[in-house]
Structures are given as C-alpha cells and as structure tokens.
Amino acid sequence: MAGRTPAEIDGAFGPGFAARIATLPVDAWSEPVPSSFGLHLVRVVRREPGGVPELAMIREAVAADWRDAQREAVRRRGIAQLRQRHDVVREDDASGSARASELP
C-alpha cells in the first residue's frame, strides 16, 4: 500500500482501517488489525508526510481529467438538445411513453 492516502486505504480495507494503522509503530509487526475483510498483520515500513503534489508531477493526469470533463459536458449538452427536438419513449415506462422533458 506504499504511497496510498488514508482514504485509499479505507477504500481497500474498510472505514477506519487507516486510522487504526496510523497508530502502529514503524518497522514492527502489529497485533491483528480488524478490517471489513477480517484480521490482518500489518508492518509499517515508513510514513511519508502528505501534501499537495507539484503540478509538474500530475500535469498529465490533470489534463486527462479536464479532457474527460469537457467530453462529458459536450455529451450532456448533445443529449439535452436531442431531448428538446424528439419524443423519447422508454420501453420500461409502464404508462407507455413520456416526453423527454418528463424523463429522469
């Protein structure tokens, strides 16, 4: 789990696991530590202080996230425009059909 944040650790082992291992001594095996999946023996090798990474280190990930957000915004606008111009019928709608503006 090297380099993981407390939120990532909790995501992998269940809520509260990161807080439980945060109290463990460095470079020693723990007593069994409970998680959502059972008991674990944990050895903390080192702790690294958190912080905000330099933009240069995450530039590509930030750019990819921005592009994904732009694509999603364009897709949503396109769907909204289609719904304004067309009647949309959902097969699972018990009443038969509904205008696009009435759909969830």
Residue type, 24: L
Percent of the chain scoring above 90 in pLDDT: 67
Tokens read off for 47: 């702790």
Tokens read off for 48: 């690294």
pTM: 0.50
Q: How many CA atoms lie within 13 A of 39 on its CB side?
A: 4
Q: Give residue 97's pLDDT.
A: 52
User: pLDDT digit string (tens) for 26-59?
Assistant: 999 999 999 999 999 999 999 888 888 889 999 9
User: pLDDT digit string (tens) for 63-82?
Assistant: 999 999 999 999 999 999 99
99 has pLDDT over 70: no
